[in-house]
């Protein structure tokens, strides 16, 4: 059974720092991995989608990597801003075509 874990559960950093969020999954048989952002009490916004054949995707200050063999993905945020404060979730599309989600990392960027 596929399980997705995100560590740490919460992270607080000063504005301007570069930071890395981690996502690990137990079964490497995935079709893709996505990173989402969720603001308090709100829906989710897709940030980056990495297909299983890809190693990374970039969008602006965000860069996501995927290492399928080790079951890991990272989301790198450069030059963090207070507006980046949110919960970041990763989800993998498993071999049954189901999205399996992590519980998220709550990120706080201090001005």
Residues near another protein, by CB under 8 A: 4, 31-32, 34, 41-46, 49, 89, 91, 93, 97-99, 101-104
Nearest-approach distance from CB 18 to another protein, in angstroms: 25
Q: Considering beta carbons, is residue 64 or 93 the nearer one to another protein?
A: 93
DSSP assignment letter at 30: E
Q: Considering beta carbons, is residue 10 or 79 the nearer one to another protein?
A: 10
Nearest-approach distance from CB 35 to another protein, in angstroms: 12
Contacts for 104 with CB less than 8 Å, ≥ 6 apart: 6, 9, 38, 87, 88, 89
Nearest-approach distance from CB 111 to another protein, in angstroms: 25
Residue 84 φ then ψ, to 5°: -80, -10
Q: Considering beta carbons, is residue 15 or 28 the nearer one to another protein?
A: 28
- CA 23, chain centre distance (Å): 6
Encoding tokens for residue 95? 């071999």
């Amino acid at each position: 059974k596929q399980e997705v874990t995100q560590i740490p559960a919460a992270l607080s950093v000063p504005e301007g720092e570069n930071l890395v969020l981690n996502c690990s999954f137990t079964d490497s048989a995935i079709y893709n991995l996505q990173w989402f952002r969720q603001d308090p009490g709100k829906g989710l916004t897709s940030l980056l989608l990495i297909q299983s054949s890809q190693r990374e995707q970039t969008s602006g200050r965000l860069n996501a990597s995927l290492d399928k063999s080790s079951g890991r993905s990272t989301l790198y945020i450069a030059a963090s801003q207070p507006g980046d404060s949110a919960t970041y979730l990763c989800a993998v599309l498993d071999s049954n075509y189901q999205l399996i989600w992590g519980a998220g990392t709550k990120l706080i960027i201090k001005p």
